[in-house]
């Protein structure tokens, strides 16, 4: 059936979020699949704001998903707001009533002053069978649905009605959405048949499960507001790449896809029935791959964006960041981790002279301050004599290694490293010194020496 539709009609897909909350990351997948499918077939991708519920719909939530899709680069070809289409729905309601497909029904109000009339669909009570391109044939006995309500009144149509009218009016050929909508499909098909709309191709994407395959908590990564991923420094292309693989597979081992590659590779045939697991570790891995491949300019821009202001505004920030970038980029899975590193005190010492207790400079149980000074001075003199071209990790190591070997590695390298970082854990002293540069390295060694020097005068 899809083959036929394709050969005769231009593909039109749509994504239809309701602006009743901050858009969840899990909801991205349907938007992406509709977008990919339309792009692949040179079709049209519609974004439709389903804001017919006047109480729950909020402009801020509409703005939220618009901002999200802009960040992700999922551009729509047309945009509609259901709240602006009341007249269209009203004319369909009138027509349906005139043709005997719907009727105004007297109701017993549920509460004082409640509604005494609604508009109900005249259900022919048959069995609806439809083909789903992912799930196969599905049959529903619709008699159990009764004459369901399609509008509260002529100006307040409900979801099933508006979806069907819009999909028809907008020429939608393919409906790709989550499996939670399978049970809505028979009602929608009944309405289609009543208004004489052709049946689109359906493809219901698999359920998305969380990592524990358990019930979702509010903080589950799968139901988090999607822009939190932007705010934590995920790469939009990486998030899309990850979402694409939740419920679709390329049939190959390939896991990293650029957007053009995704458009090329995507097909409804390769969407899967069985539940897909939202695995945050996999997202982390994919994101890391994107960070590695990113243009250096963008890497630096993102580092800057996530660097706390106190560090970013230091006079030699740019210069040090240049040296530090490879280490940082190697360590992080998403850029927001930089903030955590700063909060843990893992970064500040690269930029500012660390404060520490001077006893910490001693290796293990040693307490001989004269010896300590002698060693620090020797390290300092050796480095001072080192030409700047060889002030590299290897060059520094080569210059100090024989001394460290003869005196004891811990005895030399621990105080040196502590003087440079002020921390029990940090990169090795050769790397630290090369990152800090000659001038700052010598200053920090002098600072450490001065801590003890006074007591020897
Ligand atoms: N507005 C519906 C929702 O937010 C989607 C309707 C559809 O995709 O058919 O779940």
Residue where a domain stops, chosen among 303, 328, 349? 349
Q: Which helix (H) or strand (E) holds 202?
A: strand 201-205
**Binding-site sequence positions:** 218
Mean pLDDT of the chain: 95
* One domain for residues 44 and 182: yes
CATH code: domain of residue 120: 3.40.50.620
Report the distance separating Cα 205 and Cα 225, nearest Å: 20
Q: Is the CB of 177 under 6 A from ligand 1?
A: yes
* One domain for residues 39 and 186: yes
| Per-residue pLDDT tens over the stretch 180-213 | 999 999 999 999 999 999 999 999 999 999 887 7
Residue where a domain stops, chosen among 209, 240, 256? 209
Residue where a domain stops, chosen among 174, 209, 244? 209
Nearest to 14 by CA among 205, 192, 201, 172: 172
Residue with the larger pLDDT of the pair 6 and 307 = 307
Report the distance separating Cα 310 and Cα 268, nearest Å: 50
pLDDT at 323: 87
* One domain for residues 79 and 191: yes
Q: Rounded to two decimals, what is the model's pTM?
A: 0.90
| Per-residue pLDDT tens over the stretch 108-143 | 988 888 899 999 999 999 999 999 999 999 999 999
Decide if pLDDT at 420 tops 60: yes
Nearest to 280 by CA among 315, 245, 311, 242: 242
* One domain for residues 310 and 409: no
CATH code: domain of residue 413: 1.10.10.350
| Per-residue pLDDT tens over the stretch 221-280 | 888 999 999 999 999 999 999 999 999 999 999 999 999 999 999 999 999 999 999 999
pLDDT at 223: 87
Index of the ligand 1 atom closest to the CA of residue 48:
1
Report the distance separating Cα 235 and Cα 411, nearest Å: 44
Q: Percent of the chain having pLDDT more than 90? A: 89
Index of the ligand 1 atom closest to the CA of residue 163:
9
Q: Which helix (H) or strand (E) holds 70?
A: helix 59-72
Structural domain total, the chain: 3
| Per-residue pLDDT tens over the stretch 142-154 | 999 999 999 999 9
* One domain for residues 306 and 165: no
Q: Is the CB of 133 under 6 A from ligand 1?
A: no
Decide if pLDDT at 3 tops 70: no
Index of the ligand 1 atom closest to the CA of residue 180:
10
Residue 322 belongs to a domain: yes
pLDDT at 6: 45
Crossing angle, helix 159-169 and helix 86-98, to 10 degrees? 100
Q: Note whether 398 and 407 are within 8 A (CB).
A: no
Give 12's strand partners: 44
* One domain for residues 132 and 187: yes
Residue 318 belongs to a domain: yes
Q: To test ligand 1's pocket by mutation, which of 12, 14, 15, 17 has the most ligand atoms within 8 angstroms of CB?
A: 17
Q: Whose CA is nearest to atom 7 of ligand 1?
A: 16
Give 119's strand partners: 104, 151
* One domain for residues 317 and 175: no
Q: Which helix (H) or strand (E) holds 95?
A: helix 86-98
Question: Stretch 329-351: mean pLDDT, rounded?
Answer: 93
**Binding-site sequence positions for ATP:** 218
pLDDT at 455: 64
Q: Which domain holds residue 144?
A: 3-209
């Amino acid at each position: 059936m899809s083959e036929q539709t394709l050969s005769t009609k231009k593909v039109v897909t749509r994504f239809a979020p309701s602006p009743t909350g901050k858009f969840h990351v899990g909801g991205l997948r349907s938007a992406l699949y509709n977008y990919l499918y339309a792009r692949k077939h040179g079709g049209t991708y519609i974004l439709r704001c389903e804001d017919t519920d006047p109480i729950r719909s909020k402009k801020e939530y509409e703005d939220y998903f618009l901002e999200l899709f802009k960040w992700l680069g999922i551009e729509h070809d047309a945009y509609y707001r259901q709240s602006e289409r009341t007249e269209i729905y009203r004319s369909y309601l009138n027509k349906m009533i005139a043709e005997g497909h719907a009727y105004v029904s007297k109701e017993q109000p549920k509460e004082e002053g409640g509604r005494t009339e609604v508009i109900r669909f005249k259900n022919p009570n048959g069995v609806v069978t439809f083909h789903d391109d992912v799930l196969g044939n599905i049959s529903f006995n619709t008699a159990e649905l009764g004459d369901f309500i399609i509008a509260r009144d002529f100006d307040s149509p409900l979801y099933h009605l508006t979806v069907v009218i819009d999909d028809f009016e907008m020429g939608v050929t393919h409906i790709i959405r989550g499996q939670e909508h399978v049970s809505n499909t028979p009602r929608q098909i009944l309405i289609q048949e009543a208004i004489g709309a052709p049946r689109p191709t359906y493809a219901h994407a698999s359920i998305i499960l969380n990592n524990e395959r358990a019930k979702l908590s509010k903080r589950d990564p799968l139901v988090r507001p999607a822009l939190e991923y932007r705010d934590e420094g995920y790469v939009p292309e990486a998030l899309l790449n990850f979402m694409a693989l939740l419920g679709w597979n390329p049939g190959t081992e390939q896991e990293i896809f650029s957007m053009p590659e995704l458009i090329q590779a995507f097909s409804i045939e390769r969407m899967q029935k069985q539940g897909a697991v939202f695995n945050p570790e996999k997202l982390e891995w994919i994101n890391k791959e994107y960070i590695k491949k990113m243009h250096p300019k963008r890497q630096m821009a993102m580092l800057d964006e996530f660097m706390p202001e106190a560090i970013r505004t230091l006079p030699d920030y740019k210069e040090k960041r240049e040296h530090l970038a490879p280490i940082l980029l190697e360590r992080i899975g998403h850029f927001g981790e930089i903030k955590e590193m700063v909060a843990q005190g893992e970064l500040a010492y690269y930029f500012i002279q660390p404060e520490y207790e001077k006893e910490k400079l001693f290796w293990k149980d040693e307490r001989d301050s004269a010896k300590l000074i002698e060693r620090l001075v020797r390290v300092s003199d050796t480095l001072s004599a080192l030409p700047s071209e060889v002030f590299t990790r290897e060059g520094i190591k080569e210059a100090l290694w024989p001394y460290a070997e003869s005196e004891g590695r811990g005895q030399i390298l621990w105080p040196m490293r502590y003087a440079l970082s002020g921390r029990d854990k940090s990169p090795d002293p050769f790397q630290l010194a090369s990152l800090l540069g000659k001038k700052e390295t010598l200053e920090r060694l002098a600072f450490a020496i001065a801590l003890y020097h006074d007591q020897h005068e």
